[in-house]
Amino acid sequence: MESIFDKPVQFVKGVGHKKAENLKKIEIFTLFDLLYHFPKDYLNRSSVIPAYASMHGQLVTVSGRVVGIQELKPRKNLSIIKIAVRDHYSVFFAVWFNQKHVLKQYKVGDKLLITGKVDRSYRNTVQVNVVECELIDENEDKNLLLPIYSLTEGITQRQMRVIMQNALYSVQDIKEFMPKELLDKYKLPALYDALKNIHFPEDLESAKKARRRFIFEEFFLLQLALVRRRKNLKEVKKLHSYQNAKSNRLKFFLECLPFKPTADQNRVWEEIQRDMNSTKPMNRLLQGDVGSGKTLLSALMLLKAVDAGLQGAFMVPTEILAEQHYINLSKWFEGLEVKLELLTSRISKSQRTDILHKLKSGQIDVLIGTHALLTEDVVFKNLACVVIDEQHRFGVKQRLNLLKKGAYPDVLIMTATPIPRTLALTAYGDLDISVINNLPPGRKPVRTYHITKDSIDKLYRLIKKEALNGRQSYIVCPLIEESEALEAEAATKLADELIEMSRDKSSILYGLRIGLLHGKLKVGEKENVMEMFRKGEIDVLVSTTVIEVGVDVPNATVMAIIDAERFGLAQLHQLRGRVGRGTSQSYCILVCDPKSKESRMRINAFVNTSDGFELAEQDLRLRGPGEFLGTKQSGIPKFKIADIIRDQKALIVAKKEAELMLENKGALSNEILLQELKKRFKTGLSLVN
């Protein structure tokens, strides 16, 4: 059953081949796209003033009836169209330069609505240099508000309005797809009325009502899709079970753990176990601030799988992190006879072949790695558990590809980017969410300071002081958008300077061991540098942002960030999270000279706030959701009219209603609603297609 909404725009009167092509450039293909191309504002005719009351240079809207039309040609190549217009008080002139077509558009007697710039330099006359001119149809004169659209080349504001009128005319019988009870309950206008009132409202109040409907509609449909997907996911039965565990490594591990899990870790572990023991696959997002101890939960989950003779996969975004998790888990799993392997691009071909063989035959229990896990030849025998760390670094597709390597595996996605609730609802509405709120005990909050670049010696003195106490420092070099090579160059240059200083007896940094880490280092070199740093053989690690995520060296106490104003708040917070992981006092030093007011504000906010959630909220507000999560990867749909920050309340209500509706199966029997859903969400949202 095709809806009239699905007809191509050319179906609309006034849209020929050429206009249709132009409309495509702003993503308008169908009647639906067209009618959901909402005005960005309205021209308010009630703000019309008498022309005589206007001032020189003012931008005004005036109105009146055409009393004369004249074309002047003062010079070759210059044509001036001058239309005399009479309003209630006087006659004024509307003027166009080099726009001959105007001659054909208007005739004496027409009523015009003109927006333009006033020029009063000609004796007593008022001249209005036209920016926009509308022919007013006497019949629809009561419409005081005219829509203003964002346009594309080849289509004028006026043409767009005509097209929109025609489009509206052709959908007069459009069927409502939103449940009537909801529209009634929230006093929202029906579809056709809303369309009419958002494009050609009688007053601002009805335009507002129409907007409210479309905002709600957008959220509601999205939530319905997400909730439905989550339900569907829960309908499938997984093929594996942990019931008959063959060993008790898990128990042993917990007993030997060098620290006591925090209350939050215990609670999340309960949540995870409940999911794992259920017959339905787990799809859980674990949020916990940097350093909150998420790795422990992945370890527990993987061990539970190994106990039951099943396999686990642990995917991380960088090789450094893969290596680190491999080292940490190897240590943690010592004596437990867990067959752990690391798969990165660093290993040799024969090693790789060997690993893949063992994986397929079940001689490997847990495989840790980067994207390298995703290639087709990586085949598991019985993959039951998938852990994805620092998920914001992965695209939706990559996550899906890993899941496909098992039959409905249990999935734990971990992120240190605190995701504000509203965003979590939209971007991850199909996942269950667990949160670790509190850091392990004994951590001292990191002290954060801002210093200017010409006082960088203060930083060096701090680094020296810490080094004398056996502590280590990071210095992170500026982020250079899109260019790992330039980033590497900057880091290399700084490292060279520091090495020079470390050899100079008169320098503060004399005698310190300097290391360098960046993305352009050869395979293997990165790991060597990290290993030296981990072992304490490097005092100062100069690095690019490659260390941003996950790196865990508790002995490091100084994180210095050069040109910190170039980083987003969330990213700064990630970097700061690299220190303060042990029990000694740590420092985060921002070295920068912020120029703009905005960047000064950001730096101040960061110095004064240690709470990741609060910073994330601020970052979201400053940069918007797309930037915040990384546009391509975020999985959040683009909204046409809704705004998850401004319209939070509507979002929460929409979610509640979507859940209720699915609970009562109301939505599933509503054929026309289902169709609308299908049309709007052709592509996958966050986890499963």
Q: How many residues does the chain have?
A: 689
Q: Among residues 296 and 342, whose Cβ is nearest to ligand ADP?
A: 296
Taking the least distance from each CB to ligand ADP, the nearer of 288 and 625 is 288
- Binding partner of 290, given ligand ADP, Mg ion, none, CB within 5-8 angstroms per partner class: ligand ADP
Q: Please, which residue, 303 or 591, has the CB nearer to ligand ADP?
A: 303
CB-nearer residue toward ligand ADP: 261 or 536: 261
DSSP tag of 55: -
Residue 371 DSSP class: G
Q: How far is the CB of 324 from Mg ion (least distance, A)?
A: 9
The nearest distance, CB 638 to ligand ADP, in angstroms, is 31
Binding site partner of 211, from ligand ADP, Mg ion, none, Cβ cut-off 5-8 A by kind: none
Which stretch in 212-220, 254-262, 395-403, 677-685 sits in contact with ligand ADP by CB under 6 A?
A: 254-262
- What, of ligand ADP, Mg ion, none, does residue 291 touch, CB below 5 to 8 Å by kind? ligand ADP
Q: What does the CA dihedral 524, 528, 534, 535 come to, rounded to 10 degrees?
A: 150
Nearest residue to 66 via CA among 101, 109, 104: 109
Interface with ligand ADP, residue 288, by CB under 6 A: yes
Contact between residue 117 and residue 59 where contact means Cβ atoms under 8 Å apart = yes
Instruction: List the one residue out of 509, 627, 516, 522 whose CA is nearest residue 568.
Output: 627
Q: Does 262 bind ligand ADP (CB under 6 A)?
A: yes
Q: How far is the CB of 265 from ligand ADP (least distance, A)?
A: 6
Q: What are phi and psi of 576, to 5 degrees?
A: -60, -30
From the list 170-178, 293-301, 459-467, 568-576, the region that binds ligand ADP by CB under 6 A is 293-301
| Number of helices followed by number of strands (H, E) in the chain | 23, 20
Using a 10 angstrom Cβ sphere, with 0-12 exposed, 13-18 middle and 19 or more buried, the burial of residue 470 is exposed
Q: Which of 436, 440, 439, 443 is nearest to 260 (CA)?
A: 440
Size of the site for ligand ADP (CB under 6 A): 18
Contact status: 552 vs ligand ADP (CB under 6 A)? yes
Q: Is 295 in the site for ligand ADP (CB under 6 A)?
A: yes
Query: How many Å apart are CA 127 and CA 106, to the nearest integer?
Result: 18
* Locus of tokens 């449940």: 179
The structure tokens listed for 521 are 């280092």
Q: Based on CB atoms, which residue is closest to Mg ion, 443 or 458?
A: 443
**Using CB under 6 A, which of the segments 36-44, 226-234, 291-299, 534-542 binds ligand ADP?**
291-299
Considering the complex, state which of residue 201 and residue 580 has its C-beta at the smaller distance from ligand ADP: 580
* Residues 548-567, interacting with Mg ion (CB under 5 A): 550
Q: Which range binds ligand ADP by CB under 6 A, 158-166, 290-298, 418-426, 645-653?
A: 290-298
- Nearer to Mg ion by Cβ, of 191 and 320: the residue is 320
The entry of ligand ADP, Mg ion, none near residue 325 (CB within 5 to 8 angstroms by kind) is: none
* Euclidean distance between CA atoms 5 and 33, whole angstroms: 8
Gap between the Cα atoms of 172 and 376, Å rounded: 52
Measuring CA to CA, which residue among 194, 572, 644 is closest to residue 427? 644
Would you say 489 or 552 has its CB closer to ligand ADP? 552
Cα distances from 1 to residues 77, 672, 675, in angstroms, run 56, 9, 9
Q: Which span sits near ligand ADP by CB under 6 A: 259-267, 461-469, 591-599, 656-664? A: 259-267
Contact segment (CB under 5 A) with Mg ion among 108-116, 546-554, 628-636, 678-686 equals: 546-554
> What minimum distance in Å lies between the beta carbon of 555 and ligand ADP?
10
Q: Which residues pair with 129 in a beta bridge?
A: 95, 117
Q: Which stretch binds ligand ADP (CB under 6 A): 78-86, 107-115, 283-291, 466-474?
A: 283-291
In the list ligand ADP, Mg ion, none, the entry touching 265 (Cβ below 5 to 8 angstroms by class) is: ligand ADP
Q: Is 308 or 569 the residue whose CB approaches ligand ADP more closely? A: 569
Question: Does position 261 bind ligand ADP by CB under 6 A?
Answer: yes
Figure out which of the listed residues 30, 61, 197, 292 binds ligand ADP, where binding follows CB under 6 A: 292
Q: What SS3 string covers 542-558?
A: EECHHHCCCCCCCCEEE
Residue 624: name its binding partner from ligand ADP, Mg ion, none (Cβ under 5 to 8 Å by kind): none
In angstroms, give the least distance from the CB of 412 to ligand ADP. Answer: 12
Could you say which of 201, 281, 293, 317 contacts ligand ADP (CB under 6 A)?
A: 293
The DSSP 8-state label assigned to residue 11 in this structure reads G
Asked if 265 is part of the footprint of ligand ADP (rule: CB under 6 A), the reply reads yes
Are 477 and 487 a contacting pair, CB within 8 Å?
A: yes
Are 319 and 526 contacting, i.e. CB atoms less than 8 angstroms apart? yes
Q: Which of residues 412-441 bind ligand ADP (CB under 6 A)?
A: 416, 440
Q: Which is nearer to ligand ADP, 183 or 575 (CB)?
A: 575
Residue 648 C-beta: closest distance to ligand ADP, Å: 27
CB of 554 to ligand ADP, least distance (A): 5
* Rounded CA separation 32/19 (Å): 16
User: Which residues fall within 8 angstroms of residue 426, CB to CB, at 6 or more apart?
Assistant: 222, 226, 625, 636, 637, 644, 651
Question: From the list ligand ADP, Mg ion, none, which binds 64 (C-beta under 5 to 8 Å, kind-based)?
Answer: none
* 530 touches ligand ADP by CB under 6 A: no
Measured from the CB atom, the residue of 312 and 550 that comes closer to Mg ion is 550
Residues 6 or more apart in contact with residue 447 via CB below 8 angstroms: 585, 586, 587, 588
Residue 89 contact, options Mg ion, ligand ADP, none, Cβ 5-8 Å cut-off depending on partner type:
none
Name all contacts of 104-109 with Cβ < 8 Å and 24+ positions apart: 105/135, 106/66, 106/69, 106/133, 106/135, 107/66, 107/69, 108/66, 108/67, 108/68, 108/69, 109/65, 109/66
What is d(CA 237, CA 222) in angstroms, rounded to the nearest whole number? Answer: 25
Q: Tokens for 136, please give them.
A: 């007013």
Q: Which is nearer to ligand ADP, 265 or 545 (CB)?
A: 265
Residues in contact with ligand ADP by CB under 6 A are 259-262, 265, 288, 290-296, 416, 440, 552, 554, 581
Residues in contact with Mg ion by CB under 5 A are 550
